[in-house]
Every structure is written in C-alpha cells, then in structure tokens.
Structure 1
C-alpha cells in the first residue's frame, strides 16, 4: 500500500508546507524538513517499511537529476556577473572549504574522534554523491557522510538566511555563495526561492566547493593523520 501512496503523499505534503510557508514567514516552516519529519513519523507509527516508501518515490528520485541540471539556468542568466568576479568567487569558495574541513579535523581531534569518523564528516558541506565518494577515498563511511550532508543542508536552509541577516550580509551574491558553500543543493534550493541572483551564485558555489573539497579534503586529512602520529 505504501508503495502506491508514496509519491502522491510526498507531493501533497510538499505543496501543503509550501503554501503554509507563503503565509507564515518562519524558517521552521521548511518544505524539506517538515514533510520529511511527517513521513518519518507516519512510517514509525504505522510500522511501514521505509524501503517500500523509497521504492514508491522512484519517479520523484529520477527527477532529481533534472532538477540539478536546471540549476544551470540561473547560472547562465548571471553569466556576465560571474565572469567579472570569477577569481574572488573561486578564492572565497576554496577558503570556505579549507575552513569547513579544517575546523572539522581540529574539533574532531580535540574530541578524540576516530579517523574513520572524521573522514565521514569532513565532507559534510558538499552534495551527497560527492561527499560519499570523497569520504570513502579517505577511509570514511559513506552512509554517515550522506546522513550528515542531509542534516547540514536542512540546517542551512532553515537558519542560513536568518544568520546572514543577523551578520549584516545583505548582498545577494554574497548570500548565494554562502548558502551554496555551506548547505549544498538544499541550501541552493532555499536560495533560489529568495531570488534569482542568490540561486545562481549558490549553484556556482555548490559546484566550485564540490570540486575544491575533492581536491583539498584528502591532503588535509592525511596531514591531520601525520600530525597526530
């Protein structure tokens, strides 16, 4: 039964929360977090198998690839601005990756986390397929990496813009770069709902940070292992 209900239920919850978010401007009314929590609660209360629900949402899963490709449209629309600021953008994204991975290793080292766990969480701010692949090459656990990516993305979508506003970051390009760099695809989706410029620069940051993480995370991780030996 859950297989047949999965896709319509997911769409109904998403559209309902989206309509609710239009009336109540709260970061807690998130179109990703609330439907996910409701679905988890329903599966637990009814005792349904989560794999059945996943099978039933395969049509939506296949559309995710098209959704990611669609991020190229705002990039094209903002191409002139991006070309003018290309090197500052690359520098900022690379620095954000260095800070993200570096602070993870430092804090994890202070807490005496295992290298395997650190390798799993160091890639928390990039999109899921890349995070799983990069963490696995460092000896991490892809499943943990994927779970943390989702958590970080949801947190970014919920508190990202309120934090930027609190910090006085109002420039659309800067907001987009921050959301894409910190909260990958989920943050990019939230940025696209705020504005076309934010969405375009978030898409760019997501791509650049993904590449930068694949290049920087392994050497930083191996440097950390060398230092603690």
Structure 2
C-alpha cells in the first residue's frame, strides 16, 4: 500500500482536494474564519505526509497538476473586474493611489522589521514579495536572490492571515466603503484575500481582483529599489 502511495501520480491532487473539502465543510459547519479552508488543507496535508512517510518531492511531483492551474485561475479574476468596469473608471485615481500606498507600505514594513531583527540580505529579499500572488512572487524572490521555497510559504501565510482577519480589521477601523475594503484585501493578501472579498460583495471582489495584478506589477518595480536598501 505504501509503495502505491509513493508511486501514484495523482496522490497529491487527491490529498489536496480532499483536505480542502474538509476545510470547506468545517468552515460552513462552525462558521468561523479561523477554520480557513486553505489553512485546514495545509495542516491536513502535512499530517498525511508525516503519517505515511511520503516525501515532499513525491507530493510536489503530483501537485504540479494543480500548480498549473494557478496562473489561469488568477487571470480569471478579471471577470468580476470587467463587470464593475464603470465603477473602476469613475474612481481610477483613488484606486491607483490606494494600491500604490498599500504596496509601498508592505515593502517598507518588511524593510523596517528586517533591520530591527537583523536579517541578512537574502532573508530580507525573501520576504519582500509576501503580499503578491505566488505566480509573481516566486519570480521576484528568485531574481533578487531570495529563498523561493520560503517566499511561497510566507505568501500563503500572509494570504491566510488576510483572509481570516481582513474583514475584522475593516470593521475595527470602521472602513465601510466597498472599494476601500476590496483594495485593502487584494493589495495586502493577494488571491486568498480576494476570495474573502468576493464573499463580502461583488464590488469588493472586483476591486480586490484588480489589486492583485496592479500590486504585482508595482511590487516587481519597487522591490528592485527596496532590495538595495539593506
């Protein structure tokens, strides 16, 4: 049985989908953001790999079938944006200013914390793309000389935290404007945050979708500048 698990090409796909399904069921059952489906699926997958003794390389070889879907899934987020195109045109300046401010704040926060904690240059640039989608963040980290594997983990953690706490933070600071909430979630926590934005409303989802693409481009531009500051 163990040999079958080790050699199955679709094991990772099955484990990932079942784990996510469990996470989705738990969230609907208990109605709490702490039981985020992605977070639950990560924990379940790790426990499964530990329990069966399957290596990460074996799992990753099968998971590539899901990884291939990452880019088209990200691109498909343009659909809700298209549906809110008029709203975007009427608020273009505010939208661009908001996303730019979010990107600079993210990079500046990483810089200040890295200086305070005494991180090396490699560790610092590894964290710079934390708030953009994995498809772009991996390339940025590799180009700047960071640890790509750690970058992926940090991006996922950032997204999960944004998904769990994003709506609460908006309520805490009394942010009620749908456009503002969407921009904040998308800029700070990429696609995972956008999933939460879509749950909140159509406008939030559309603005968050836009933020993923624009924030990714701006991070690519600004990260090169910030990389030279430490």
TM-score (norm 1): 0.89
After superposition, where does 1:1-229 map in structure 2 within 5 Å? 1-2=4-5, 3=8, 4-222=10-228, 224-225=229-230
Deviation string for 1:195-215 (max 9, x for gaps)?
A: 222211111111111111111
SS of residue paired to 1:38: helix
Q: In structure 1, how many angstroms separate the alpha carbons of the residues matched to 2:106 and 2:152?
A: 16
Q: In structure 2, how many angstroms separate the alpha carbons of the residues matched to 1:164 and 1:155?
A: 14
Deviation string for 1:80-129 (max 9, x for gaps)?
A: 10111111111111111111111211221122211121111112111123
Q: In structure 2, how many angstroms separate the alpha carbons of the residues matched to 1:112 and 1:202?
A: 33
SS of residue paired to 2:141: helix
Q: In structure 2, how many angstroms separate the alpha carbons of the residues matched to 1:142 and 1:93?
A: 24
SS of residue paired to 1:192: helix
Q: In structure 1, how many angstroms separate the alpha carbons of the residues matched to 2:178 and 2:99?
A: 16
Q: In structure 2, how many angstroms separate the alpha carbons of the residues matched to 1:136 and 1:56?
A: 23
Q: In structure 2, how many angstroms separate the alpha carbons of the residues matched to 1:32 and 1:100?
A: 23
1:33 Cα offset (Å): 0.6
Q: In structure 1, how many angstroms separate the alpha carbons of the residues matched to 2:63 and 2:136?
A: 22
Q: CA contact under 8 A between 2:22 and 2:40: conserved in structure 1?
A: no
1:166 Cα offset (Å): 1.9
Q: In structure 1, how many angstroms separate the alpha carbons of the residues matched to 2:56 and 2:193?
A: 25
Q: CA contact under 8 A between 2:125 and 2:145: conserved in structure 1?
A: yes
- List gaps (5 residues or longer) in structure 2: none
- Bigger Cα displacement from structure 2, 192-201 vs 130-139: 130-139
SS of residue paired to 1:32: helix
> CA 1:35 to 1:163, structure 2 compared with 1: closer, same or farther past 3 Å?
same
1:154 Cα offset (Å): 1.4
- List gaps (5 residues or longer) in structure 1: none
TM-score (norm 2): 0.89
> CA 1:103 to 1:157, structure 2 compared with 1: closer, same or farther past 3 Å?
same
1:59 Cα offset (Å): 3.4
Q: CA contact under 8 A between 2:70 and 2:135: conserved in structure 1?
A: no
Q: In structure 1, how many angstroms separate the alpha carbons of the residues matched to 2:46 and 2:40?
A: 10
